Each structure stands twice: as C-alpha cells, then as structure tokens.
Structure 1
C-alpha cells in the first residue's frame, strides 16, 4: 500500500494580523512565527532590494527553529518620490503622510519569499502596486484617521476598510499585495511545494 504523502508544515513568518487574515483565505492549515530581523535599509539599497532581502531574511530567521517546513516571508514599503513611507505610529505622522500623498501616486512594493527549509531553496519576488490618491482636504484626512486609526499600516490607510475612500484608482495585478501578502503570486509557489488550495 502506497503511503499518503503529507505536505510539510506551512509557517507564516509574521505576526501581522493582516497577513494572517489573507493567508487564511486559502484554506490551508498554517502556523505563525515572529521573525527577529533588523529591518533597517542598507546604504544605497533601493526599496525593491530592501523588501526582497527582508522577505527572505524573515523566512530564514524562522527557519532556524523549523528544519522541515515551508516558510512564507513578506515585507512591504510604500514610496512617494522614492522616499519610503513607514508605518506612521501616531496621528500626527499619519496626517503628514496623507497630506503629502493627496492628489499623488504612491508605489507600494511587497517582497515575497517561499523558503523550503528541507532544501534551503528560496523563491523570491517583488510585487508592485500603485495607489492614486484623491485630492484630500485636511478635514477629510482628519475624519478618516479618527474613524479607522491606521497607525500600524504603511501609508496610513487600510485599503480593505474605509481607506478605499481615499483613492482615485488602484493600479496593479494583485490587490492583496496592497494589504501585505500577494496571494495571486503566492499560490503557484505553494502549489510547486505541494500546498494546493484547490486540491490536486
């Protein structure tokens, strides 16, 4: 009798509730682990290089304690005029970010890594997504921030929530990338490793 092969454990190298909620949509069992990674950019490192490096670094940091697993790492930055917009952390910084973004286009870049710890092989990519903001008055920005308080989100908004009202249009192949995990690009990487959301 041929033994039934079981997919290796799937681990999300993140404690982000947004990434966890996205991955749950695929219906695959997984666990989460917190990666201990210095997220400061290297001198001269571009935003795309930064997120690709950090996505893999997060996966490899978790791999140290999981030698037989498939690990997903991800990292995201938002850029306006080539300057990185981090997570605001407070109301004042969020106000400044959204006032600066008003009527303009911000580029979000999301790094993705799928690491097979059995072989040490890592597949990495960077998924771009552009957000075109409406012209926003200070009063509207203030009202939005008071209602949604997106202070832990790069760019100071939640696109899956009321933040959608800030946009004129979105431009990209995978809207999930804007939230932090590009599921459309992730699925074929998982399937190649034996984790198929739709079955065989």
Structure 2
C-alpha cells in the first residue's frame, strides 16, 4: 500500500483501538481526534437513525475544534471519518453497559440467542464540505455461553467498554460464536467495504 503518498489526509474521529487497527489494515495513515459529546442526549427510535445522528454529532464536535481555514487552503483534501455503533437485542438498543451487573445480564441474554450490531460511518471532506454516511448491520448468533466464561469476561473487563457488552473476536467468546451474518470488521466498529466506498465518494 502506498499510503505515504496518498493524495489526501484522514482524521479518524474515534478513540477506539479496534477502529484504528482496521483503518491501518486498510492501508491508510491517519491522525486521531476524539469528539467528547454527551451521547445520552441524542435519542432516536430506530438504531440506524441513532448511529447516524451520533456520527453526525461527533463530526460537528470535531469540526468546531479544527482550524477550518487550513483545510480549505491545503492542496490535498482532509477527510474526517466518524462512526458510532450500537447493539440491538430483541428490538432494544444497547449501548455500553453501565455496570458489571448490566454487562453480565447482557451476556446471559446473548447465550444461546442472537443480537445484531448496527454501525455507522460518516465521511466529511473538510475541503469541499461534502458529507456522506451510511450504516451497516450484522447479525450474530451464539451458542450457550457458560457462566464461568461470562464471569471471566466481566473480570477481564473489555466487555464493559463496548456497545452492548458484545465482543466476538475475544478469545474467551470466540468459541461460542455460532454464526456471523456480515463481517467481523463491521462488528468491531468499522466496516471496511463501506468505509472504502464512502472515502472514494467523498473525494
């Protein structure tokens, strides 16, 4: 990948390590800026609408902090990539667990059942102002997850910091993932194909 000579710059508006890893795997170099927004004050009925609204809010928050003149003057465009993700279980939207108890309940719910992730990607071209976003949904089916595995996951703690307490690539949970209808990168927070498509369109 000739990422170093890429004719545009990317700002990833996310603090997620998984998203960083995926964008790097795609061959892009990028800088990171995080949007400190109160996600709880944005509510939508449909999960697809919610993740799109949150990606927009993150983009707006980051735009406020960018010296906008520079991006318009720069020869090469800068693309801002913002994302959001929620888990949907039996029609209800789940965000990051608020406690260990809630995370435990979430995992018990998934055991022998299924959930979905709905993730958004929004690309804003800071030079032209063009903005395009879309969402991606993945269905995940689980085998029965033993209680001791759930306890180990809670103790280890990663599940406390992800939407719906849902992780599929974690070595403890991987053996209990029955089927994934969609792509793992999407579940991890950044669907590669969709991101690639939006980057091309934004240029």
Shared topology, TM-score over 0.5?
yes
Q: RMSD of the TM alignment (CA)?
A: 2.1
Q: 1:51–1:111: 8 Å Cα contact kept in structure 2?
A: yes
The equivalent of 1:143 in structure 2 is 152
The equivalent of 2:187 in structure 1 is 178
> What CA distance in whole angstroms lies between the structure 1 residues aligned with 2:147 and 2:49?
34
> What CA distance in whole angstroms lies between the structure 1 residues aligned with 2:44 and 2:14?
26
1:119 alignment partner, one of 111, 128, 143:
128
> What CA distance in whole angstroms lies between the structure 1 residues aligned with 2:164 and 2:61?
26
Deviation per residue, 1:94-117 (Å, 9 max, x gap): 211111121111011001100112
> What CA distance in whole angstroms lies between the structure 2 residues aligned with 1:44 and 1:26?
31
Instruction: Write 1 or 2 for the structure with the bigger share of helix.
Output: 2
Q: Number of residue pairs matched?
A: 189
> What CA distance in whole angstroms lies between the structure 2 residues aligned with 1:126 and 1:35?
19
> What CA distance in whole angstroms lies between the structure 2 residues aligned with 1:167 and 1:70?
35
The equivalent of 1:46 in structure 2 is 46
What secondary structure sits across from 1:124 in the alignment? strand
Deviation per residue, 1:74-97 (Å, 9 max, x gap): 000001111122212543222111
Q: 2:87–2:166: 8 Å Cα contact kept in structure 1?
A: no
Larger mean Cα displacement after TM superposition, 64-73 or 41-50: 41-50
Residues 42-121 of structure 1 aligned to structure 2 (within 5 Å): 42=42, 44-64=44-64, 65-67=66-68, 68=71, 69-121=78-130
The equivalent of 1:197 in structure 2 is none
Deviation per residue, 1:45-94 (Å, 9 max, x gap): 31110001111221232123153221000000001111122212543222
What secondary structure sits across from 1:40 in the alignment? helix
Q: Flag structure 2 segments of 5+ consecutive residues without an equivalent.
A: 72-77
Task: State the TM-score, normalized to the length of structure 1.
Answer: 0.84
Q: 1:78–1:155: 8 Å Cα contact kept in structure 2?
A: yes
Task: State the TM-score, normalized to the length of structure 2.
Answer: 0.83
Q: 2:86–2:117: 8 Å Cα contact kept in structure 1?
A: yes
> What CA distance in whole angstroms lies between the structure 1 residues aligned with 2:155 and 2:176?
14
> What CA distance in whole angstroms lies between the structure 2 residues aligned with 1:81 and 1:181?
23
- Give the ranges of 4+ consecutive aligned residues of structure 1 lying more than 6 Å apart after TM superposition: none
